[in-house]
Structure 1
């Protein structure tokens, strides 16, 4: 046994055995624990600390598949930020595979309580690298947000053994659905190893979303039982169909939670260094995430851990890009969020990562936490302003005509900051967090009673409406109104400039029965009921997606230049007047776009006409040419004026 060359962490197979390394500045001693095939500890070996605070050991004769963990010795003084407790078996932050899922137990947070029987073992693996091509996804494309378990658990064509796993994404029926609605990239909600929040087991609930990680690289065995090989194979099959895969990753916090939480990895190895603490109060964890802790992403060790994690997924599975939960934490320093923070800069300049798609959720709950528009290019950013403004427009709120136009045009008011020349917006109307799109038009208020918190959790303002009845109804008129509103919302989303995102099932009217915080519902509340999806809505989504792919104007990312490439008209066919823009309840808007038609290859004009009123509206269309209604599989009759039904969006092509 001997120390090896300086490096930050992980277990690497070498010629003589396995080389282990783990970083800890404040510990007194780190021990490597090895486990046999019977799951019993067979060795506890002291590691040698280097001047760089990396503890190292090469174990001769050890082979691939060996299982291990760490124990850290040192001072236990939580009020001083020190949590060293050798009774806690710790996960390697660089672990790439675990032998079992995490399971919450109070002993994981009890000082002096042995946890060997509760903690997964890391597995020594051999890296297999692919040669990733350029990312398939291009800004302006259609992103489809998927929680793989919820998405596949009730799919009738998927074999029972595959349901709930990443492998199920490659099933021919799933791929056929993705291609039908024109998906460019699947954005996969977290699949790295997570633990349930401590309040869930007593309620008989469990985490359904995965936003509570312990290991940043290791895939959760519940979702990816085949490990990196399963992920790599699934990505390859999606790529073969022209579909990219984006991973949603969580680096802002861990499932170790607040000071009453668990000791499983970073806390036990060096809590004081690896989490943020209040100035002068090392016992007080900063809670910019709302989950009890905040990872110190500006620490050099954490920065490199993040970069190495991203490289692991690109080199190991050809992942096309990443979405980052509560992304301002990645740019936080002791003085607040910085657009050009070192960690963000490292993510954009690393040789392996610099061509990958990077998407920020640009808010957290810390001071100055709302950073929409402030991430460095080429980061794309979730745009909740679009979500709220479009919902409010269709709900009928006053003074929303201008905000709708701004959203449709790519939110230049936001993304022109810092000399921006184009939009970086990811437009969406619903996401995993909040109402489903159907629930937006079916519930006036949230209904989270099943979460066990007396309906106190989740957002209170959802900019929603119920069309005359709260929740499920048998009244055909209300059902028709809801379907019309869903079609209008989908049309609006697909007609907006920038990248767009739709959450799985929203194309078919999936409901969560008014639950807008369903993170803890791993059951029929969140599982997509494929048999109940509305094929009329799915067909409409496919139609809108087809238009988006046909006409280049929607997927271009530059701002409109004001030279005739976009015109805003009223039903008269004339440009919108100041008075019309400022009329509180103005219910119509026409957007006339100069665009290339992918079918003919020629430049033409497309009119997108919005009518949120309760009655039919007639638009005079500009110019002397006739226009054709685009609907379903074929254009309608030519006309010089357009009839736009109540609560709808109509598309007309010139010529």
Structure 2
């Protein structure tokens, strides 16, 4: 008997070995190997480029220190020959894409002369191989010739600008603590815009293909004609001039002449604003030279960790514009109006009473608020990425600069971090019918993604008329410059990236790497057209970039409506770490946002459902976000896309708060509990020592056990008709801290053995 078992065991081992070996053969010859080869190609390209740069550097050192000899040149050529050997193996168009992707990535990081040399050699070798394949093997390779030319043009233009701007204008930065530790690359040394320094005003604007750029200076925003000042172009495409005097309060713009066609939109009769303007008169007016000095009162504000953030999404105007806000008329809908009501239950006093710690401002970059003849109330049509929206200020001549700083300073003083909703995926210049305001008239092919077959038209994965060409080095520089400016100049604490996947992966990685490590970053991980996504939700794992979690939204809404997939619900409650997140803080959890239905409208003003939503949201792992008014069951009258409603549909009606005070008190209590106990804010993915589950017979119910110094038990029943019976996991009494309607840290009673949860109710117990 034992011998037979041994023989069977040996036979099984042989069979498994054969199967395993055969499996390896299948893997080696199947599609899996293509992925492996792609990874190897990426590594070999970068390795060879680094070798070219190293050999070039060593050769130069050797030439300077000793007599040049053949061994130096042999060493220098070794890296180039290695790269050519790799390129010679290219047989597929997809392989060219891989090489170009790595070359572009290398170009972003190139700082030294040796790295620039390596990039140029690598691109030249690739171009030669592609040209050969296009003429002898497959005409499909010809489609990549234009991609190579474009990459060459971008790199050459950007690095010429770098070379010619080593003595570029430098602005003063007042707070080194908030200054990014890392530079994006050496392009960061190029200072564009209008800067007042030592009695002179310096102007610099980028327009690489222009043949003439003229500065126009005006005394008034309404002046039709102004003083013309000639500008001089350096070899990198930056036009500069210096004007005597500190021109604070003056207005300016540019006109640019240049070649026509191939996507260029030069028009010497069209006055353009400055893309780097620090203030602008509306979205389509003149730029303003503004004194940006501000005396900060709260200089030592400490930002919360991402895992500890409770975000409150709000719109500047909506928060104070309603007649019930209690804010005086002159401040309604303004930056400064946001600081009113401190000692009331409205506006600032409301935020303090609620207990959130991060305020997310919907767009405050200068935007077109009447785009294409339609009211654009929300602000997702940015025209200037360095200027504050002037309609929220007391005037349009740059007053918003100091008033927005005062708002951020004041919020910091009350303990709130401030993050900005930013829109770098498209601009207010729209599609081919849109009037050039700045970017189009200076470098349309550089700032926008144009259709390759007809460059009159724009890619439109945003659904807003155009896509910003973020992969272009000077465009990426503009984005990084803008973000760093808002951190250093306005002391903002983070950013939310609208339609984040339109931003190319390399630029998004640079944003993560180069902004200060305590800056909060979150993004919408989608585009309007999913085929235009530059990256996926599963990218940027183990970074500080959180993504808006539509999985959480849909799975928890399904639970609340009695249609739960329990495994999915458990996954999102645990931070989506078994799907695409590496840690809970990569998941930004929300159930209501500015677009879509409010929860009150979605659930037909059913308070049982909105209470259950609050409990699920604020006990889940991840970063919770609340939309303004959600905390007291605000309604928009069923409007699920109120972007064009500059009226009471969007304005916060503060009388509703008192009407639904019970909902507000529940939210406030849940937030306080969340911030008090670490159980709800884990830094890493939870294991079974930290979280367990109870799965009662009712499939629309689930129990979450969160272990720690105290253990919490969150019982959620989404069934609208039936009670859910939960067997409590340990002997002894549990304290009921939330009974589904009220919450108290001191307790609302006790429970032993079993707990029967009513329909559409959430309960929280502690032990």
TM range (shorter): 0.7 to 0.9
How has the CA–CA distance of structure 1 residues 145 and 592 changed in structure 2, closer, same or farther, with 3 Å as cutoff?
Answer: same
Q: Aligned partners of 1:73 and 1:137: how far apart in 2?
A: 49
Match of residue 253 from structure 2: 69
Deviates more, 1:80-89 or 1:371-380: 371-380
* Aligned ranges 1:166-565 → 2 under 5 Å: 166-171=335-340, 172=342, 173=344, 174-196=347-369, 198-199=371-372, 201=373, 205-225=374-394, 226-331=399-504, 338=505, 341=506, 343-350=507-514, 353-364=516-527, 365-367=529-531, 369=533, 371-375=536-540, 377-397=543-563, 400-416=565-581, 420-442=582-604, 482-533=606-657, 534-563=660-689, 565=690
Q: Which structure is higher in RCO with an 8 Å CA cutoff and minimum separation 6? A: 1
Offset of residue 368 of structure 1: 5.4
**Match of 1:407, SS?**
helix
Deviations 1:164-203 (A, max 9, x none): 112222221423211222201000000111114544x3xx
Choose which of 250, 268, 271 in structure 2 pairs with 1:86.
Answer: 268
How has the CA–CA distance of structure 1 residues 366 and 589 changed in structure 2, closer, same or farther, with 3 Å as cutoff?
Answer: closer
Q: Aligned partners of 2:583 and 2:718: how far apart in 1?
A: 31
* Aligned ranges 1:5-20 → 2 under 5 Å: 5-6=167-168, 7-20=190-203
* Aligned ranges 1:4-83 → 2 under 5 Å: 5-6=167-168, 7-37=190-220, 39-40=222-223, 41-77=225-261, 80-83=262-265
How has the CA–CA distance of structure 1 residues 400 and 129 changed in structure 2, closer, same or farther, with 3 Å as cutoff?
Answer: farther
**Match of 1:288, SS?**
coil
How has the CA–CA distance of structure 1 residues 126 and 592 changed in structure 2, closer, same or farther, with 3 Å as cutoff?
Answer: closer
Deviations 1:313-363 (A, max 9, x none): 1112211111111111222xxxxxx3xx1x22332333x534311111111
Q: Does the 8 A contact of 1:485 with 1:648 survive in 2? A: yes
**Match of 1:355, SS?**
coil
Q: Does 1:635 align with 2:760?
A: no
Higher helix share: 2
Deviations 1:482-505 (A, max 9, x none): 011100111110011011101000
Deviations 1:139-176 (A, max 9, x none): 24210000111121114321211111122222214232
TM-score with structure 1 setting the length: 0.81
How has the CA–CA distance of structure 1 residues 493 and 101 changed in structure 2, closer, same or farther, with 3 Å as cutoff?
Answer: same
Deviations 1:568-610 (A, max 9, x none): 1134xxxxxxxx6xxxx71221111103xxxxxxx12111001
Q: Does the 8 A contact of 1:328 with 1:371 survive in 2? A: yes
Match of residue 650 from structure 1: 763
Offset of residue 46 of structure 1: 2.0
Match of residue 278 from structure 2: 96
Q: Does 1:604 align with 2:710?
A: yes
How has the CA–CA distance of structure 1 residues 30 and 556 changed in structure 2, closer, same or farther, with 3 Å as cutoff?
Answer: same
How has the CA–CA distance of structure 1 residues 440 and 299 changed in structure 2, closer, same or farther, with 3 Å as cutoff?
Answer: same
Q: Does the 8 A contact of 1:320 with 1:357 survive in 2? A: yes
How has the CA–CA distance of structure 1 residues 129 and 75 changed in structure 2, closer, same or farther, with 3 Å as cutoff?
Answer: farther
**Match of 1:636, SS?**
coil
Match of residue 112 from structure 1: none
Deviations 1:246-302 (A, max 9, x none): 011111110100001121010011101110112353222111211111111111111
Offset of residue 414 of structure 1: 3.0
Choose which of 675, 691, 696 in structure 2 pairs with 1:566.
Answer: 691
**Match of 1:635, SS?**
coil
Q: Does the 8 A contact of 1:92 with 1:122 survive in 2? A: no
Offset of residue 556 of structure 1: 1.5
Deviations 1:345-399 (A, max 9, x none): 332333x5343111111111252527223135111111111111111121122x5
TM-score with structure 2 setting the length: 0.70
Offset of residue 129 of structure 1: 8.5
**Match of 2:495, SS?**
strand
Deviates more, 1:402-411 or 1:175-184: 175-184
Match of residue 626 from structure 1: 733
Deviations 1:34-75 (A, max 9, x none): 101473232122210001100000011352222101111123
Offset of residue 132 of structure 1: 6.5
Q: Aligned partners of 1:164 and 1:385: how far apart in 2?
A: 34
Q: Does the 8 A contact of 1:140 with 1:500 survive in 2? A: no
Q: Aligned partners of 1:255 and 1:353: how far apart in 2?
A: 29
Offset of residue 137 of structure 1: 4.9
How has the CA–CA distance of structure 1 residues 428 and 415 changed in structure 2, closer, same or farther, with 3 Å as cutoff?
Answer: same
Instruction: Tell me how many residue pairs correspond in the alignment.
Output: 558
Q: Does the 8 A contact of 1:415 with 1:422 survive in 2? A: no
Deviations 1:445-478 (A, max 9, x none): xxxxxxxxxxxxxxxxxxxxxxxxxxxxxxxxxx
How has the CA–CA distance of structure 1 residues 355 and 604 changed in structure 2, closer, same or farther, with 3 Å as cutoff?
Answer: closer
